[in-house]
Amino acid sequence: MEVIIAKPDELARLAACAYEQLLRRRPDAVLGLATGSSPLAVYDELVRRHTDEGLSFAQARAFNLDEYVGLPAEHPQRYLNVIRHDFTDRVDFAPGAVQGPDGLADDLAAACTSYEDAIAAAGGVDLQIMGIGTDGHIAFNEPGSSLASSTRIKTLTEQTRADNARFFGGDVDKVPQHCLTQGLATVMRARHIVLVATGRSKADAIHQLVEGPVSAMWPGTILQHHPHVSVLVDTAAASRLQLADYFRSTYAAKPAWQGL
């Protein structure tokens, strides 16, 4: 796990570089995408590179981490619509290249299985970007999630629904109670994971993720078992890290040729 503490624009540049290096090497790479506010600066930087420097996503495929259950197809907070708005419609993905779990399926369990199958058939995710919830959830794997879980239906915690109410006009009752989410084992199969967190509200979750014991109580801690994770945090999100000075000196000494 590499932890980098830097300003938000530097974090976005680092993550965008990882995507760019992958796509220049493998234009048909499989990208893991996430909603939420944390990756937005990364998406903006990727759009800039697409517009100004010709970075192309035309042969790439992408899989979202999660989806609310039951939001109408055209609802602006349906995560497939969110990712189109925030990122994929702003670049040149081919039609149908971006998928998410089907939160409108009649048979939700079957939709979860077929989503796992689709990721596997694509060859697995090469590079997964993600944020982290204030309660330590990744994707929508809430505290108590099985560390070996696959894509499935989950019930959101009141904390997560309250955190996400800002996307629903501040009305927590409009936030769905259920979601479909890649499981922790699904996430762990991505070959490289870049987790971005900014702000004081993420400090506890980041401390647990990096320095806590691996526990279903803080689902993100499973990433300690992954061989290639980049944790990109600003000073506020890093404020509870006991090893912050070490991470700062490591980054200051990072070889120029070494990407994430």
List active site positions. 66, 135, 137, 142
Please select the residue that binds ligand GLP; options are 140, 141, 229, 260, rule is CB under 6 A.
140
Could you say whether residue 180 binds ligand GLP (CB under 6 A)? no
Choice from 88, 164, 221, 230 touching ligand GLP (CB under 6 A): 164
Tell me which residues in 18-37 interact with ligand GLP (CB under 6 A).
34-37
Hey, what long-range contacts does 173-177 have (CB within 8 A, 24 or more apart)?
A: 175/68, 176/68, 176/69, 176/70, 176/71
Looking at the Cβ atoms of 55 and 145, the one nearer to ligand GLP is 145
CA distance 44 to 37: 12
Task: Give the residue, chosen from 8, 38, 136, 192, that forms a contact with ligand GLP under the rule CB under 6 A.
Answer: 38
What is the smallest separation between the CB atom of 12 and ligand GLP, expressed in angstroms? Answer: 13
H/E segment holding residue 81 = helix 79-86
Helix (H, G, I), strand (E, B) or coil at 111: helix
CB count in 10 Å sphere of residue 224 = 14
Among 1-9, 23-31, 52-60, 124-132, the segment contacting ligand GLP (CB under 6 A) = 124-132
Dist CA 165 CA 172 (whole Å)? 5
Q: CB of 39: closest distance to ligand GLP in angstroms?
A: 7
Binding ligand GLP (rule: CB under 6 A), the pick from 160, 186, 221, 230 is 160
Handedness of CA 247, 252, 255, 260 (dihedral sign): positive
In the bound state with ligand GLP, the residue whose beta carbon lies nearer, of 126 and 219, is: 219
The helix/strand/coil state of 78 is coil
Find, among 217, 141, 144, 215, the residue nearest to 180 by Cα.
141
**Cβ closer to ligand GLP: 55 or 183?**
183
Region 41-70 residues binding ligand GLP, contact defined as CB under 6 A: 65-66
Can residue 133 be called a binding residue for ligand GLP (CB under 6 A)? Answer: yes
According to DSSP, the residues that pair with 229 across neighbouring strands are 193
Q: Provide the binding-site residues for ligand GLP, judged by CB under 6 A.
A: 34-38, 65-66, 130-133, 139-140, 160, 164
